[in-house]
Chain A
Amino acid sequence: MTHSKLALTWIAAVVTAALTACGEQKPAPKAEAPKAPPAPSALEIKIGHVAPLTGGIAHLGKDNENGARLAIEQANEAKLMIDGQAAKFVLIAEDDQADPKVGTTVAQKLVDSKVVGVVGHLNSGTSIPASPLYHQAGIPVISGSATNPKLTEQGFKTQFRVVARDDQQGPAIASFLAAEKKPKLVAVIDDATAYGEGIANEVEKTLKAAKIKVLPREKGTDKTTDWKAVLTKLKGRKPDAVFYGGMDATGGPLVKQGRELGIKAVFSFGDGACTDEMTKLAGPAAEGLLCSQAGIPPQAASKAFLAAYKKRFNVDPILYAPFTYDATNLLIEAMKKANSADPAKYLAGLATNEFAGATGKIAFDAKGDRKDAEITIFTMKGGKIEPIAVVKGGATLSYADFLKAMGG
């Protein structure tokens, strides 16, 4: 009895304390505001960022978020003035779990909390269903990593991206594969997501155009860990190369099990499985795989960005951080030029501005895609992915030549 009474008293005490604390905090800014009229009042500018922070690709989500966070923090340090007020940028980072349903919920949440711009989402599968919500609210969205063509084919004036599309990336890896490895028969597998299917379709189209035979499409899911049934079936057809449209969490087991079954084909992947994680997930089986990344490798981003990122987060960027960094800066730059944080006012400038970012020069075409986006081809060597070539505007350059052309 005494125990429960004591507990009740405690709870009551805590609740009262909490209530009074809340009550005290609220009026404080109101009281302060009129006191300091000469100093320019702070203009809070909310920018949203969405990426999966849980699940199989949480590491990539965090990488994207870090890129955006760095840009925001640098903008705050620069003490920008917008519309005569000191701009205070706030990053609202959300987790969409790489799930389309959660993606739209989170998008609505951002719209409701009155963000003026969004960087994200990481996945095409979440970006596409979320884009109409932003469009209706008139909020500009720039994705640093969603590569499915559909995203910018919907005709939304608010949708942009700073990476190459799958229909540029797919043909790039496919034509590289065709030219370098000269396969006669290729197996194409995807993970049944918007991204995986999209890039796999593009690869298949390009290979067929190059008169290379392609086996009927095999599919897994974005959670598949057991590929043995699919691979066993493929083994009987003896392909010279395998392309998988999917992420590293599923691509790693795929190549590992493929080698265990004695498949000797070249394994090739899109950007989702183009990470050093592949070595951890597949062990020595990952050696020699080919993969592509939309854009340029993080290590080819501007030195200033790399140094700032390393200093702030104590790690190197993994994949798309330079792109989300640029995407965030594009938003900030457009607001600065339009001298307004109102999406209706700065959107026109965002679409036409030319901007020199950490990933090179950025300008958008009429659809909101980046003009002349680069695609880099990598191979796995000694447990690390190494860039071997860059495809830009249909031409293939070796990586060394590309660095020279970048002015290295």
Chain B
Amino acid sequence: MDIFLQQVINGLTLGSVYAVVALGYTMVYGIIQLINFAHGEVVMIGAMVAFSVITALAGAGLPPLALVLLGVGCAVPVCMLVGYAMERLAYRPLRRAPRLAPLITAIGVSIILQHLAMLVWTRNVIAFPQIIQTEIYTLAGATVTSVQLAIVALCVTMMAGLAWLVYRTRLGTAMRATAQNPQVAGLMGVDINRVIAATFVIGAALAAVAGVMVGTYYGIAQYTMGSILGLKAFAAAVLGGIGNIPGAMVGGVLLGIVEALGAGYIGDLTDLCQYGWLAGLLAEHCAEGGHFILFGSNYQDVFAFVVLILVLVFRPSGLLGERVGDRA
């Protein structure tokens, strides 16, 4: 049971990061029906900028927490700038183009950002400075680190903040209006360009924080780290119903838990030696307590995409998506 609990805790940590990244996908999709495949790279840039700042100031004798905050404080504006530039240069000129054009552009932007990062931060795996002493707490046999607690707490705070922004402020109202019908919103005096730019910038800020969290959690960063994370967050957004903000939150957390439990238990479930008639067939492998494992935990990354396919086949609008039609 403690093992199960531990897997759920791992999944929850991972899931809250997915949720924050998925928000970026879903917000942009909700407003301009564009899947911004470059969003994962923004996460990577956030991690890299924070890494540079923290390493540069590590010798200055600041308390570790202040260092991390400074790192985040620099990563967020840089990523916001990247998000704004991306929208202004790559997507706005294509807003009236067929939908495939901006999608391809998004992939192009992703490749450009990745290689720029490679030039700046080298191709090597960068060891994130381990400045925060990781405290380890034990809870009913499972362990929770202070970093994990901080990640979950921060993600919940950010999601709450975003919900407040979208549902309680003028900007949020303008965003929702633009999402429903950009032409009419424009006629009502909403500056659509500003609202769309703001959406990108907010998503990028969330991504920057997510990047720093991933970096501190795993202790490493690399210029390629954004692509797989981005794809999984995209799967999370689709799972929750792309375009739907609460959906992205639910989808992210759910996907994290599915992944952790899947990777944790698939090996045991596909050990063919425990199934009587198969064990007979595989006698040479199963003899003397041997094992014949069909899928090991290296299939961890597959779960996100299996979920993506299942959702697209059986419920294309996602868990919380209302409007069917052309979603995802």
Residues of A near any B CB (own CB < 8 A): 54-56, 58-59, 191-192, 216-221, 223-226, 228-230, 232-233, 235-236, 249, 252-253, 256-257, 260-262, 277, 280-284
Whole-angstrom CA separation of A233 from B265 in the bound complex: 8
Count of interface residues, chain B, beta-carbon cutoff 8 Å: 42
Do residues A216 and B220 form an inter-chain contact, with CB atoms below 8 A? no
**CB-CB under 8 A for A281 and B296, given A249-B125, A260-B145, A262-B138:** no
Smallest beta-carbon distance A245→chain B, Å: 12
Given the complex, which residues of B lie within 8 Å of A221, measured CB to CB?
298, 301
The answer to the question of B52 belonging to the interface, with a C-beta cut-off of 8 Å to chain A, is no
**Among listed B3-11, B105-113, B168-176, interface-contacting one:** B3-11
- Ordered nearest first, which 5 A-B pairs have the shortest CB separation? A229-B263, A280-B127, A219-B298, A219-B296, A283-B130
In the assembled complex, the Cα of A228 lies from the Cα of B257 at a distance in Å of 12
* CB of B266 to closest CB in A, whole Å: 9
Q: Given that A58-B123, A261-B6, A262-B136 are contacting pairs, would A233 and B264 also be in contact in the complex, using a CB cutoff of 8 Å?
A: yes
Chain B hits for A58, CB < 8 A: 122-124
Q: Which residues of A contact B275 (CB under 8 A)?
A: none
Q: Verify A56–B143 contact, CB threshold 8 A.
A: no
A191 and chain B: residue at smallest CB distance: B298
A-B contact pairs, 13 of them (CB 8 A): A217-B291, A219-B298, A220-B300, A225-B218, A226-B14, A228-B260, A229-B260, A229-B262, A230-B263, A230-B297, A232-B264, A249-B222, A281-B125
User: What distance in Å separates the Cβ of B268 from its nearest Cβ neighbour in chain A?
Assistant: 8
Answer whether residue B293 sits at the interface, using C-beta atoms and an 8 A cutoff: yes
Smallest Cβ distance from A145 to chain B, in angstroms?
18
Residues of A within 8 Å of B263, CB to CB, are 229-230
Nearest chain B CB to A260 CB, angstrom units: 5
- Does B143 contact A260, Cβ atoms closer than 8 Å? yes
A12 CA / B263 CA spacing, docked (Å): 59
Contact string, B262-276, partner A, CB cutoff 8 A, digits 1/0?
111101100100000
Additional A-B contacts beyond A217-B296, A232-B264, A257-B218 (18; CB < 8 A): A59-B124, A216-B271, A219-B298, A224-B298, A224-B300, A226-B14, A228-B10, A229-B259, A229-B263, A232-B10, A233-B297, A252-B220, A253-B219, A260-B136, A261-B6, A262-B143, A281-B219, A283-B130
Contact in complex: A229, B264 (CB < 8 Å): yes
- A interface footprint on B115-139 (CB within 8 Å = 1, 0 otherwise): 0001000111101001000101010
The digit string for B39-74, where 1 denotes a CB below 8 A from any CB of A, is 000000000000000000000000000000000000
Query: Would you list which residues of chain B between 1 and 44 have a CB under 8 Å from chain A?
Result: 2-3, 6-7, 10, 14
Complex Cα distance A262/B136, Å? 8
Q: Are B14 and A283 in contact (CB under 8 A)?
A: no
- Collect the chain A residues with CB atoms within 8 Å of residue B261's CB: 229
Q: Is the CB of A261 within 8 A of B298?
A: no
Q: Which residues of B contact A219 (CB under 8 A)?
A: 296-298
Which B residue sits closest to A257, measured CB to CB?
A: B218
B291-A216 in contact (CB<8A): yes
Give CA–CA (A226, B304) in the complex, Å. 14
8 Å CB contacts to A: which residues of B251-295?
259-265, 267-268, 271, 291, 293
Closest chain-A Cβ to B225's Cβ sits at a distance in Å of 8
Chain A residues within 8 Å of B300, by CB:
220, 224, 226, 229
Nearest-neighbour CB distance to chain B for A232, whole angstroms, equals 4
- For residue B301, which residues in chain A have a CB less than 8 angstroms away from its CB? 221
Q: Chain A residue with minimal CB distance to B261?
A: A229
Are the CB atoms of A220 and B297 closer together than 8 Å?
A: yes
B124 CB contacts on chain A under 8 angstroms: 56, 58-59
CB-CB under 8 A from A283, the residues of chain B are: 130, 219
Q: Report the bound CA distance from A282 to B127 in whole Å.
A: 8
Given contacts A59-B124, A283-B130, is CB(A233)–CB(B298) below 8 Å? no
Q: How far is the CA of A219 from the CA of B297 in the complex (A)?
A: 6
Q: Of B3, B118, B220, B293, which contacts A225 at CB under 8 A?
A: B220
- Of chain B, the residue at the smallest CB distance from A260 is B145
Q: Select from chain B the residue with minimum beta-carbon distance to A237.
A: B3
Contact B219 A192 (CB under 8 A): no
Taken together as a complex, chains A and B put the C-alpha atoms of A226 and B219 apart, in Å, by 11
B284-328 interface with A by 8 A CB criterion: 291, 293, 296-298, 300-301
Q: Please, which residue of chain B has its CB at the minimum distance from the CB of A190? A: B298
Which residues of A sit under 8 angstroms from B224, Cβ to Cβ? 223
For B218, list chain A residues within 8 Å (CB).
225-226, 253, 257
Give residues 225-273 of B contacting A (CB, 8 Å): 225, 228, 259-265, 267-268, 271
Q: Bound complex: CA of A199 vs CA of B220, how far in Å? A: 25
List chain B residues, Cβ under 8 A from A226: 14, 218, 300
A281, B268: Cα distance in complex, Å: 30
Residues of B within 8 Å of A228, CB to CB, are 10, 14, 260
Residues of B within 8 A of A220 (CB): 297-298, 300
For B267, what are the chain A residues with a Cβ–Cβ distance below 8 Å? 216, 218, 233
Across-interface contacts of A229 in B (CB, < 8 A)? 7, 10, 259-264, 297, 300
In the bound complex, residues from chain B placing their C-beta under 8 Å from that of A54 are 118, 123
For A249, list chain B residues within 8 Å (CB).
125, 220, 222
Residues of B within 8 A of A55 (CB): 123
The reply to whether B7 and A277 contact each other, CB–CB distance below 8 Å, is no
Which of A220, A232, A256, A277 neighbours the largest number of chain B CB atoms within 10 Å of its CB? Answer: A232
Pairwise interchain contact B134-A260, C-beta atoms closer than 8 A: yes
Give the nearest-CB partner of A278 in chain B: B127
Q: Which of A55, A191, A260 has the most CB of B within 10 A?
A: A260
Report yes or no: A218 in contact with B127, Cβ–Cβ below 8 A: no
Q: Are B3 and A232 in contact (CB under 8 A)?
A: yes
Q: Are A281 and B123 in touch, CB under 8 angstroms?
A: no
List the B side residues contacting A281 at CB < 8 Å: 125, 127, 219-220
What's the minimum C-beta distance from A40 to chain B, rounded to whole angstroms? Answer: 43
Instruction: Specify which chain A residues have a CB less than 8 angstroms from the CB of B143 in the assembled complex.
Output: 260-262
Bound-state CA distance A261–B143 (Å) is 6
